[in-house]
């Protein structure tokens, strides 16, 4: 990568990390810290944890499309300002209801699509996957960092301290976007970065993508559902909030080791490991039903959960990218992200409401049952075959004869031509020779 691409990748990744920190740091602490508010209830705690997911899900695609009309940086900067305002509302709240309002506002700064599109604009075709990978890794890193920092900051400055800090960081990110992130010189083809409204309806109905979308909804529903309960369990086991980071550090370390094991096993059969992970979650939630007998028991269950969660979280996006039709990856990922965030919202609502009405045990019973149903769903997913994607800029009108010649090439899976952008998207098997396609199109290297 050249200097512009490196600067773009790391500055945008930094923006992503700081923004996601603000969303995630609340998860491991709010179930305990929120008890200080006069209107405390488990239902409102669930809303406060997952509330951002609803506005993220609703605005993720529109904000990405808007960035194509008015520019990436204005949308990203505007989203960060909305996020900062939401953080300030939550930081100054004197009731849990206003914390929930702040969380909804935080989620309204839905800039993920615009960030990915800007990253695409700032990178060359061959380097674009590397830039996207750096930003993608930053998302996982921010979640781990949030689990460790959240309890420490909350124990020192309270819940309002977390929100105030994230608001300040979001404000600083506005200047980072405007003055550090390079201005786009090239405009990347939209198909692989941005959602396009015309594609959405068909992608919603795509049977394989629908299975993955429901899967990520359930995955994030389960982790949000769990975090409404875990901090309370730790306090009940005589672990004060200031020490929770110690528990999470052990959990994260153990889950990373478990992830390495699953990835090694997946080299032989990804499908089997994916089903194993979902089945493992069903068993883990079933064991939660029988109570939390000791800190060791709790840490083992949570570590196993994170092992399964991390594997699925890392592999689902790659499968969406693999399965989505040529030139439709941006739209497919937009739909996927909307399901993902909506799952966080549902998890918070279900955990809080069912826990209040029926008891915590029923939350885990429901989660275990859903995992069993989910297991039947993932058995039908067929997205483990590795495919390559290419984006070719064409300067001439593509005729039917040219398309027939391309279709005859060995290993080609799918072609999408976008005449108004003079772009052709190709999806192909590993042995496909892109140079043959270039010869057919009379394109230079």
Name residues of the chain where pLDDT drops below 50. none
The CATH class of the 195-385 domain is mainly alpha
In 92-206, which residue ranges form alpha helices assigned H by DSSP? Answer: 96-108, 112-121, 128-179, 197-205
Topology of the domain covering 1-191: Growth Hormone; Chain: A; (1.20.1250)
Tell me: the pLDDT tens digits for 285-306?
Answer: 999 888 777 889 999 999 999 9
The pTM of this model reads 0.84
Q: Note the pLDDT of residue 144.
A: 83
Q: Note the pLDDT of residue 55.
A: 92
Write the burial class of residue 293 (CB in 10 Å: 0-12 exposed, 13-18 middle, 19+ buried).
exposed
Instruction: Give the distance, in angstroms, between the CA of residue 438 and the centroid of all CA atoms in the same chain.
Output: 35
Tell me: the pLDDT tens digits for 333-392?
Answer: 888 888 988 998 998 888 888 888 888 889 899 999 999 999 998 887 776 566 777 777
d(CA 306, CA 374): 17
What would be the CATH architecture of the domain defined by 387-441?
Answer: 2-Layer Sandwich (3.30)
Question: Domain boundaries in the chain?
Answer: 1-191, 195-385, 387-441
Q: Note the pLDDT of residue 317.
A: 82
Query: Closest Cα partner for 324 from 414, 256, 399?
Result: 414
Query: Closest Cα partner for 158 from 147, 166, 150?
Result: 150
Give, in order, the Cα–Cα distances in Å from 203 to each of 59, 195, 199. 18, 11, 6
Query: Closest Cα partner for 389 from 367, 406, 414?
Result: 414
Domains 1-191 and 387-441 share a fold: no
H or E element, residue 423: strand 423-429
């Amino acid at each position: 990568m050249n200097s512009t691409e490196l600067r773009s990748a790391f500055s945008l990744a930094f923006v992503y990390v700081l923004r996601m920190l603000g969303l995630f740091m609340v998860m491991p602490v709010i179930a305990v810290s929120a008890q200080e508010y006069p209107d405390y209830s488990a239902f409102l705690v669930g809303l406060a944890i997952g509330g951002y997911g609803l506005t993220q899900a609703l605005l993720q695609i529109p904000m990405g499309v808007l960035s194509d009309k008015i520019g990436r940086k204005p949308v990203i900067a505007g989203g960060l300002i909305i996020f900062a305002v939401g953080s300030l509302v939550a930081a100054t709240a004197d009731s849990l209801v206003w914390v929930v309002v702040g969380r909804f506002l935080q989620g309204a700064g839905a800039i993920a699509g615009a960030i990915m599109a800007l990253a695409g604009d700032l990178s060359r075709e061959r380097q674009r996957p590397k830039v996207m990978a750096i930003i993608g890794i930053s998302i996982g890193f921010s979640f781990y960092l949030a689990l460790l920092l959240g309890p420490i900051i909350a124990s020192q400055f309270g819940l309002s301290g977390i929100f105030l800090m994230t608001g300040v960081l979001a404000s600083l990110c506005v200047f980072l976007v405007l003055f550090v992130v390079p201005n786009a010189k090239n405009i990347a083809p939209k198909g692989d970065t941005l959602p396009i409204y015309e594609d959405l309806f068909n992608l919603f109905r795509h049977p394989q993508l629908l299975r993955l979308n429901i899967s990520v909804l359930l995955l994030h529903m389960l982790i949000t559902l769990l975090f409404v309960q875990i901090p309370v369990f730790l306090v009940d086991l005589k672990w004060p909030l200031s020490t929770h980071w110690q528990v999470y550090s052990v959990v994260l370390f153990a889950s990373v080791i478990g992830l390495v094991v699953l990835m090694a096993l997946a080299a032989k059969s990804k499908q089997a490991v994916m089903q194993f992970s979902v089945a493992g979650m069903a068993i883990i939630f079933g064991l939660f039903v029988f109570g939390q007998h000791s800190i060791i028991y709790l840490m083992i269950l949570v570590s196993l959960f994170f092992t399964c969660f991390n594997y699925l979280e890392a592999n689902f996006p790659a499968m969406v990218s693999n399965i989505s039709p040529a030139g439709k990856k941006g739209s497919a990922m937009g739909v996927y992200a909307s399901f993902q965030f909506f799952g966080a919202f549902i998890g918070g609502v279900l955990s809080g409401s069912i826990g209040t009405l029926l008891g915590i045990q029923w939350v885990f019973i429901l989660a275990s049952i859903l995992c069993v149903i989910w297991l039947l769903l993932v058995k039908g997913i067929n997205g483990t075959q590795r495919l390559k994607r290419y984006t070719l800029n064409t300067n001439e009108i593509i005729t039917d004869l040219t398309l027939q010649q391309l279709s005859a090439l060995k290993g080609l899976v799918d072609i999408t031509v976008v005449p108004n952008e003079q772009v052709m998207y190709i999806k192909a098997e590993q042995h496909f020779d892109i140079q043959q396609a270039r010869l057919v199109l009379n394109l230079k290297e």
